[in-house]
């Protein structure tokens, strides 16, 4: 079978990214233009600003991805693009750019689901990894336990009923005065704190053993900080960070491991921005080691949004016959199934 080179584009949030990926596993180039510094000023992503910056960056980012791979459009076999879910204005920039390229270069267009591509980042990092496996997908906007039956066949086993784990980390960090994106700073500070200093709630969802809830936990920490500040007290940030991180990680790990046991999975995978969290990686690895299971997670540079993961999943979507025409539209929400 001839090698297939896919040019892939990602613009679902605040990173404009493009990559060239061969056969779903080999990254020939990967370029990311981040907007983090600008959104820091506002304490979070401003969708209108994100969309405008994508418009400004996308041409250069895609050009650089081709240049770094030493290829021209004549060497590319297909264009893959993130079309859902995400910020609608941001997604539309990538989708319309990809449609234009597909039309002008006469190349197939592959629509890719953002969360599926986070899972696929593991195929790049671990060439031996193949479905079926159980995956915990955790990011700023999503927390899902997903049964990956095949490359394009997935089933949601459990998910958050309210806030995502990443959002809870960011909001807690912001309340403690940390800069955006707060989750990364909280993770670093938590390493020096006492995880048992504060008793925080471990929310459960009645009747849904694998569903999660983080809004109560987020509210608990915000109230704790506000109540202390009203009394003129300051709480130890290291201990607070460590206790909060432990509460979120406990919830994620317990649900993930119990779902794996119930469904007889011995191959566990982490994916998404929050899979960069050092405690989550340690906890899941330890639990897998205890049971003799295998555990996979992406290297840090593939945890955040990037184009390479889109190209990896795009390859398998193409093999499954999932291509689109110029009527392709972006979707702000969409199930991974």
Q: Max CA-CA distance within the chain?
A: 70
Query: In this prediction, what percent of the chain has a pLDDT beyond 70?
Result: 100
**Is 331 inside any structural domain?**
no
Residue 112 has pLDDT above 80, yes or no: yes
Residues 307 and 262 in one domain: no
pLDDT of residue 207: 86
**Is 263 inside any structural domain?**
yes
Residues 260 and 314 in one domain: no
**Is 153 inside any structural domain?**
yes
Residues 258 and 148 in one domain: yes
Residue 1 has pLDDT above 70, yes or no: no
User: pLDDT tens digits, residue range 90-107?
Assistant: 999 999 999 999 999 999
Mean pLDDT along residues 56-69? 98
> What is the chain's length?
337
Range of the domain at 23: 5-120+303-319
DSSP type of residue 324: B
**Is 21 inside any structural domain?**
yes
Q: How confident is the model at residue 44 (pLDDT cuts 50, 70, 90)?
A: confident
Residues 112 and 207 in one domain: no
**What CATH number is associated with residue 216?**
3.30.420.40
Q: What are phi and psi of 19, to 5 degrees?
A: -155, 160
Residues 32 and 95 in one domain: yes
Contact call for residues 31 and 14 (beta carbons, < 8 A):
no
Residues 135 and 265 in one domain: yes
Q: Which residues pair with 133 in a beta bridge?
A: 148
Alpha carbon distances (Å) from 58 to 12, 52, 64, 71, 249:
12, 10, 10, 18, 35
- How big, in percent rounded to 5, are the helix, strand and coil portions of the chain? 45, 20, 35
User: pLDDT tens digits, residue range 168-221?
Assistant: 999 999 999 999 888 899 999 999 999 999 999 888 888 889 999 999 999 999
pLDDT of residue 147: 98
Residue 12 has pLDDT above 80, yes or no: yes
* Helix segments in the chain, DSSP class H: 36-40, 47-69, 88-105, 114-125, 165-175, 182-190, 215-230, 237-263, 278-291, 307-319
Contact call for residues 71 and 5 (beta carbons, < 8 A):
yes
Residues 73 and 151 in one domain: no
Averaged confidence pLDDT in the chain:
95
Q: At what angle do helices 278-291 and 237-263 cross, to 10 degrees?
A: 40
Residues 11 and 43 in one domain: yes
């Amino acid at each position: 079978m001839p090698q297939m080179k896919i040019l892939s584009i990602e613009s679902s949030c605040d990173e404009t990214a493009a990559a060239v990926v061969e056969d779903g596993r080999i990254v020939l180039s990967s370029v990311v233009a981040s907007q983090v510094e600008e959104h820091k000023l506002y304490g979070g992503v401003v969708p209108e600003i994100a969309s405008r910056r994508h418009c400004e960056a996308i041409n250069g980012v895609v050009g650089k991805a081709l240049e770094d791979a030493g290829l021209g459009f004549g060497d590319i076999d297909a264009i893959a693009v993130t079309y859902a879910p995400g910020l609608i204005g941001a997604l539309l920039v990538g989708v319309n750019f990809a449609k234009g390229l597909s039309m002008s270069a006469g190349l197939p267009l592959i629509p890719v689901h953002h969360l599926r591509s986070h899972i696929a980042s593991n195929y790049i990092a671990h060439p031996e990894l193949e479905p079926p496996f159980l995956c915990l997908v955790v990011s700023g906007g999503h927390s899902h336990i997903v049964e990956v039956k095949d490359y394009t066949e997935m089933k949601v086993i459990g998910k958050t009923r309210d806030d995502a784990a990443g959002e809870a980390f960011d909001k807690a960090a912001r309340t403690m005065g940390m800069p955006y994106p707060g989750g990364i700073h909280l993770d670093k500070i938590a390493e020096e704190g006492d995880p048992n200093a504060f008793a925080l709630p471990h929310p459960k969802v009645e009747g849904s053993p694998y569903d999660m809830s983080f809004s109560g936990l987020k509210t608990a920490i915000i109230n704790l900080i506000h109540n202390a500040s009203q009394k003129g007290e300051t709480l130890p940030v290291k201990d607070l960070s460590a206790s909060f991180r432990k509460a979120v990680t406990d919830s994620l790990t317990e649900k993930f491991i119990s779902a794996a046991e119930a469904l007889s999975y011995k191959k566990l995978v982490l994916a998404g921005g929050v899979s960069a969290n050092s405690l989550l990686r340690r906890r899941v690895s330890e639990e897998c080691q205890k049971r003799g299971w295998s555990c996979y997670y992406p290297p840090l540079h593939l945890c955040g949004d990037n184009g390479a993961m889109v190209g990896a999943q795009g390859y398998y979507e193409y093999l499954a016959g999932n291509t689109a025409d110029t009527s392709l539209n972006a979707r702000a929400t969409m199930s991974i199934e």
